[in-house]
C-alpha cells in the first residue's frame, strides 16, 4: 500500500524491522512460543466462557439477564483496547505491553471464582476482557519484530490455527472440566498460562526504548473514539437479539452513539495533524476486498463454529462433554495436518488458490447441512465437520497473509487498528445476524407448521391420542393426560421448527461461501514481498 501523499498525509509509522542477525540463538523460538500461548489463550478463554456460560450462571447464582450481560461485559473491553495495541507496542515495546498485563490477567483469573457479588463479578470480567484484548494484537507484532522472514507464514498459521482449533476443542475442554475437574478451571487454567506469556516475551524480545516521537504525536482522541465507538456497537449487537433490536431504547441509543462516535473518529483523523489510523492506509482495492473476504469467512465458518454445536445442544439436547468428541475428531485433529499443508500451499502458490479451496469446502459443508434432520447426532456430522476443517485451515490463514502482503509495513500500526476492528467487530456482527436469523426463521416455521396442526385433522387427532395414551396408562386423569399430550405435540412442532431454522442457517452459510468465491475472483495479485509464493 502506498503511503498517503499531499500536505494532509499522515507521517509514516516506523517500518517493522527484520530481526537482527546478532540476536542470541533461541530467542526467536521463545517469541514464537509466546505467539502460540497468547493466541491459544485468547481463543480458548473466549470459547470456554461462551460454552460454559450456562453452568457459570448456576455457579455464580446469576439470572439469565445477568449471565447475558456478563458475556457482553467480558468482551466489549477487548474491542475497546484491541485497535490501539499495535500502536502501543510500537511506542512502548512489545515486552512492556504484554508482560504486566499477563501477570495481572493471572491474578484476576484466580480471584473471579471466589466472587459472588454481581457488581464485583462484572467489574472483574470487564478488567479481564480489557487485558485479553491485548494478547492477540501484541503477538502479531511479535511475529514481524522478532521472527526471521522464513517463519512469518508458519507463525501466522499458528495464529490462524488457534481460531479454528479453539472453537472446536473448546467444547471438549469445557466438558472435561465439568466432568472430571470443576467449572473453576475455566478461569484457573490462566493462572498458569498467562504468566508464561509474559515471561516468554520478556526472554524472547529485546529491550526496546520508548519511541518518544510517536508518544509526542499520539492521537489519543482518535484511539479513544474508534475503540469506544466499536465497543458501543458491539454491546448493541450482542444484546440486540435478546432485547428485540430497535424495539429497545437501550439498543437504539447504543447504535446511534456508536455510529456517531465512529463518524467523529473519521472527522478527527481528517483534522488532526498526525492521524493515528487514517482511512487512506486501507484505501486500496486489494485491501478492501481482503477485508470483505474475512467478513465472508466469518459468515461461512459459522456452519461449524456456531450451527453444529448449537444444533446438538438446543435440538438434540447434548451436553458439552457429549458434543466435544465429534467436533474434536472432525475439526480440531484434522487441522493438525491441514494447517501445514496450507502453509506449503501459500509458500508455493498464489494465496488466492488457498482461498478458493477454503470457500469451496465451506460451500460443500453448508450444502450438506441443508439435509439435517432431528435424528442427526454428534457423529452424524463427522463428514461435514471434516470438510469444514479444510475450510477453516485454508481460508483464514490465506486471508490474513493476503491482507498483510497488500499492506504497507510503514503503516503497520494503522492497518493493525482496522484489522482488529474487523476481527472482533466483524465476527460479532456475523453472530448477531445469524442468531437473529435463526430466531425469526424458527418463529416463521413454527407458525407455518402450526397452520397444519388442526384439531379437525384426523392425523392430528391420532397423534394426540398416541401422546395421551402413555399418561392415561400411568394413572393420570383424562384432563391431565390431554394437557400433557397437547404439550408433547407442541414440543414436537417446536423441535421441527428448530430443525428447519438450522437448515436455513446452513443455507445462509452456503451463500456466504459463494459470496467469498465471488470476492476471490475479484482479487488482484499481491505485490511481491516477504510473503510472496516461491513460484511468483
Q: Which residue has the higher pLDDT, 381 or 85?
A: 381
Question: So what's the pLDDT on residue 410?
Answer: 67
Cβ–Cβ under 8 Å, residues 358 and 393: yes
Share of the chain above pLDDT 70, in %: 86
* pLDDT range class, residue 476, cuts 50, 70, 90: low
Question: So what's the pLDDT on residue 16?
Answer: 43
Question: So what's the pLDDT on residue 2?
Answer: 38
What is the architecture, at CATH level 2, of domain 281-430+503-536?
Answer: Up-down Bundle (1.20)
* Per-residue model confidence as pLDDT tens digits over 422-432: 777 777 778 88
Instruction: Report which of 467, 495, 463, 494 is spatially closest to residue 483, judged by C-alpha positions.
Output: 467
Q: Of 20-34, 46-60, 160-174, where does mean pLDDT reach its minimum?
A: 20-34
C-alpha separations of 52 from 39, 56, 78, 181 in Å? 20, 6, 19, 14
Report how far residue 473's alpha carbon sits from residue 407's, in angstroms, rounded to the nearest whole number.
Answer: 72
* pLDDT range class, residue 10, cuts 50, 70, 90: very low
Report how far residue 157's alpha carbon sits from residue 346's, in angstroms, rounded to the nearest whole number.
Answer: 10
Cβ–Cβ under 8 Å, residues 64 and 75: no
**Highest-scoring range by mean pLDDT, 12-16, 213-217, 391-395:** 391-395
Question: So what's the pLDDT on residue 107?
Answer: 92
DSSP string, 89-158: HHHH-HHHHHHHHHHHHHHHHHHGGG---HHHHHHHHHHHHHHHHHHHHHHHHHHHHHS-GGGHHHHHHH
DSSP string, 410-465: GGHHHHHHHHHHIIIIIHHHHHHHHHHHHHHHHHHHHHHHHTT--TT-HHHHHHHH
Question: So what's the pLDDT on residue 35?
Answer: 65
Is the per-residue pLDDT at 4 higher than 50? no
Q: Which three cell numbers stand for residue 527?
A: 505485490
Question: So what's the pLDDT on residue 22?
Answer: 40
* pLDDT range class, residue 13, cuts 50, 70, 90: very low
Q: Of 116-130, 280-294, 373-387, where does mean pLDDT reach its minimum?
A: 280-294
Average pLDDT of the residues of the chain: 81
Cβ–Cβ under 8 Å, residues 393 and 335: yes
Report how far residue 141's alpha carbon sits from residue 13's, in angstroms, rounded to the nearest whole number.
Answer: 14
Question: So what's the pLDDT on residue 388?
Answer: 92
Cβ–Cβ under 8 Å, residues 388 and 331: yes
Question: So what's the pLDDT on residue 531?
Answer: 77
Is the per-residue pLDDT at 261 higher than 90? yes
Q: Which residue has the higher pLDDT, 403 or 13?
A: 403
Instruction: Report which of 367, 344, 364, 363 is spatially closest to residue 354, judged by C-alpha positions.
Output: 344
Question: So what's the pLDDT on residue 55?
Answer: 79
Report how far residue 145's alpha carbon sits from residue 152's, in angstroms, rounded to the nearest whole number.
Answer: 10
Rounded to two decimals, the pTM is 0.82
Give the Cα-Cα-Cα angle 315, 316, 322 (nearest 5 degrees): 130
Phi, psi of 490 (to 5 degrees): -65, -40
Q: What is the DSSP letter of 411?
A: G
Q: Which three cell numbers stand for residue 44?
A: 480458548
Question: So what's the pLDDT on residue 19?
Answer: 45
* Per-residue model confidence as pLDDT tens digits over 501-529: 999 999 999 999 999 999 999 998 888 87
Look at the domain 17-218 and name its fold: Growth Hormone; Chain: A; (1.20.1250)
* Per-residue model confidence as pLDDT tens digits over 317-345: 887 778 878 888 888 889 889 989 998 99
Is the per-residue pLDDT at 6 higher than 50? no
Averaged pLDDT for residues 165-173: 72
Question: So what's the pLDDT on residue 90?
Answer: 79
Question: So what's the pLDDT on residue 409?
Answer: 65
Question: So what's the pLDDT on residue 124?
Answer: 92
Report how far residue 156's alpha carbon sits from residue 150's, in angstroms, rounded to the nearest whole number.
Answer: 11
Is the per-residue pLDDT at 228 higher than 70? yes
Is the per-residue pLDDT at 15 higher than 50? no
Share of the chain above pLDDT 90, in %: 21
Max alpha carbon distance in the chain (Å)?
A: 88
* pLDDT range class, residue 93, cuts 50, 70, 90: confident
Cβ–Cβ under 8 Å, residues 505 and 437: yes
**Highest-scoring range by mean pLDDT, 5-19, 323-337, 412-426, 451-465:** 323-337
Report how far residue 73's alpha carbon sits from residue 112's, in angstroms, rounded to the nearest whole number.
Answer: 14
Amino acid at each position: 500500500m502506498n503511503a498517503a501523499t499531499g500536505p494532509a498525509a499522515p507521517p509514516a509509522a516506523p517500518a517493522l524491522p527484520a530481526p537482527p542477525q546478532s540476536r542470541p540463538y533461541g530467542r526467536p523460538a521463545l517469541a514464537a512460543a509466546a505467539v502460540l500461548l497468547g493466541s491459544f489463550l485468547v481463543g480458548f478463554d473466549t470459547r470456554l466462557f461462551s460454552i460454559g456460560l450456562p453452568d457459570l450462571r448456576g455457579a455464580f447464582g446469576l439470572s439469565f439477564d445477568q449471565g447475558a450481560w456478563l458475556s457482553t461485559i467480558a468482551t466489549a473491553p477487548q474491542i475497546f483496547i484491541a485497535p490501539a495495541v499495535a500502536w502501543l507496542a510500537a511506542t512502548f515495546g512489545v515486552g512492556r505491553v504484554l508482560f504486566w498485563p499477563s501477570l495481572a490477567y493471572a491474578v484476576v483469573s484466580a480471584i473471579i471464582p471466589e466472587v459472588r457479588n454481581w457488581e464485583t463479578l462484572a467489574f472483574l470480567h470487564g478488567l479481564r476482557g480489557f487485558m485479553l484484548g491485548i494478547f492477540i494484537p501484541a503477538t502479531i507484532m511479535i511475529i514481524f519484530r522478532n521472527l526471521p522472514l522464513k517463519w512469518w507464514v508458519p507463525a501466522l498459521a499458528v495464529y490462524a490455527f488457534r481460531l479454528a482449533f479453539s472453537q472446536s476443542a473448546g467444547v471438549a475442554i469445557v466438558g472435561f472440566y465439568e466432568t472430571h475437574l470443576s467449572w473453576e478451571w475455566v478461569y484457573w487454567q490462566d493462572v498458569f498460562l498467562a504468566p508464561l506469556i509474559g515471561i516468554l516475551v520478556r526472554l524472547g524480545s529485546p529491550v526496546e526504548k520508548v519511541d518518544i516521537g510517536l508518544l509526542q504525536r499520539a492521537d489519543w482522541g482518535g484511539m479513544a473514539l474508534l475503540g469506544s465507538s466499536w465497543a458501543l456497537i458491539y454491546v448493541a449487537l450482542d444484546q440486540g437479539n435478546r432485547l428485540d433490536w430497535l424495539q429497545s431504547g437501550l439498543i437504539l441509543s447504543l447504535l446511534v452513539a456508536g455510529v456517531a462516535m465512529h463518524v467523529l473518529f473519521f472527522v478527527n483523523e481528517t483534522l488532526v495533524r498526525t492521524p493515528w489510523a487514517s482511512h487512506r492506509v486501507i484505501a486500496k482495492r486489494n485491501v478492501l476486498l481482503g477485508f470483505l473476504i474475512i467478513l465472508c469467512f466469518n459468515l461461512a465458518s459459522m456452519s461449524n463454529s456456531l450451527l453444529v454445536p448449537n444444533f446438538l445442544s438446543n435440538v438434540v439436547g447434548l451436553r458439552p462433554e457429549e458434543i466435544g468428541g465429534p467436533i474434536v475428531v472432525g475439526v480440531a485433529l484434522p487441522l493438525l495436518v491441514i494447517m501445514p499443508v496450507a502453509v506449503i500451499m501459500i509458500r508455493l502458490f498464489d494465496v488466492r488458490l488457498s482461498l478458493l479451496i477454503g470457500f469451496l469446502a465451506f460451500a460443500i459443508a453448508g450444502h450438506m447441512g441443508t439435509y439435517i434432520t432431528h435424528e442427526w447426532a454428534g457423529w452424524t456430522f463427522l463428514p461435514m465437520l471434516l470438510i469444514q476443517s479444510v475450510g477453516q485451515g485454508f481460508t483464514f490463514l490465506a486471508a490474513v497473509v493476503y491482507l498483510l502482503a497488500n499492506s504497507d509495513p510503514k503503516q503497520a500500526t494503522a492497518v493493525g487498528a482496522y484489522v482488529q476492528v474487523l476481527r472482533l467487530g466483524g465476527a460479532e456482527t456475523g453472530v448477531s445476524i445469524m442468531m437473529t436469523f435463526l430466531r425469526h426463521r424458527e418463529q416463521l416455521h413454527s407458525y407455518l407448521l402450526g397452520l397444519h396442526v388442526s384439531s379437525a385433522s384426523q392425523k392430528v387427532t391420532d397423534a394426540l391420542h398416541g401422546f395421551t395414551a402413555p399418561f392415561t396408562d400411568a394413572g393420570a386423569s383424562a384432563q391431565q393426560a390431554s394437557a400433557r399430550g397437547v404439550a408433547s405435540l407442541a414440543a414436537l412442532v417446536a423441535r421441527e421448527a428448530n430443525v428447519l431454522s438450522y437448515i436455513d442457517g446452513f443455507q445462509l452459510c452456503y451463500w456466504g461461501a459463494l459470496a467469498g468465491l465471488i470476492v476471490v475472483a475479484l482479487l488482484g495479485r499481491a505485490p511481491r514481498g516477504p510473503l510472496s509464493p516461491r513460484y511468483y
